[in-house]
Amino acid sequence: FCANWRVMGRNTRDRTPENVIEELKEIKYKFGINSVVFLDDTFTLSPKWVREYCEDLKRRKLNIKWGCQSRVDQTDMSLMKLMKESGLVQLDFGVESGSEKILKVLGKGGAGDRTSQIKQSFKMCKELDIRTLATFIIGNPEETREDIEQSFQVAKEIAADYTAFYFLTPYPGTDIYNMAIENKWLFCHN
């Protein structure tokens, strides 16, 4: 479902927290911009980087509101609290499904109960008064009506500020695309 790594590659171009904050400082004072959204696929990929960024942002007192995307398995209360203190107002999570079976099919399962992680992350956001966006995908391989109902139930339980349901799109180069070709779910013209 996610093709970003196919388009952008798997390597990341790391900038220092100081470099990012200098840019924020420039857009604030030069253009009057007081809020930003980071569109990194996973802003919290390096908790160490995020902590440095948040501490520096707080120290400089820029008073910029910001939002980003994260993963439910990369959140903890201390990090989220620090993010909130530095100006975070919204966290977006790709929940994908409320069905453990479908999460495993999508490679999002792993050890433990993923839906518990989902619920815990949204609970922490509510406790910290951080707005949330939850995105779900419908039309996954092996998905049944019951799996979709489980997604609807999880969406109701987590009560995100914003919820979006999307239909699965098998982008070329993704595992889902290859699976769709293999199973003749797509008609390709050569």
What pLDDT is attached to residue 125? 97
What pLDDT is attached to residue 83? 97
Q: Is pLDDT larger for residue 25 or for residue 13?
A: 25
Closest CA to 95 of 141, 48, 160, 33: 160
What pLDDT is attached to residue 1? 46
Q: CB pairs under 8 A, 24+ apart, for 180-185?
A: 183/141
Mean pLDDT of the chain: 90
Q: Are 92 and 128 in contact (CB under 8 A)?
A: no
pLDDT at 8 over 70: no
Q: CB pairs under 8 A, 24+ apart, for 100-106?
A: 101/142, 101/147, 102/140, 102/142, 102/143, 102/147, 102/151, 105/140, 105/141, 105/142, 105/143, 106/1, 106/137, 106/140
For residue 158, give every residue at least 6 positions away whose Cβ sits within 8 Å of its Cβ, in sequence order, or none.
Answer: 95, 118, 119, 122, 132, 134
Give percent of the chain above pLDDT 90. Answer: 71
Confidence of residue 75 (pLDDT cuts 50, 70, 90): confident
Cα angle 8, 9, 10 (rounded to 5 degrees) comes to 130
Confidence of residue 32 (pLDDT cuts 50, 70, 90): very high
What mean pLDDT is predicted for residues 44-53? 95
What pLDDT is attached to residue 105? 86
Q: Is pLDDT larger for residue 146 or for residue 42?
A: 146
What pLDDT is attached to residue 173? 82
- In this predicted model, what pLDDT tens digit does every residue of 88-141 receive, in sequence order? 999 999 999 999 999 998 888 655 688 999 999 999 999 999 999 999 999 999
- In this predicted model, what pLDDT tens digit does every residue of 156-168 receive, in sequence order? 999 999 999 999 9
pLDDT at 49 over 50: yes
Cα angle 61, 64, 70 (rounded to 5 degrees) comes to 115
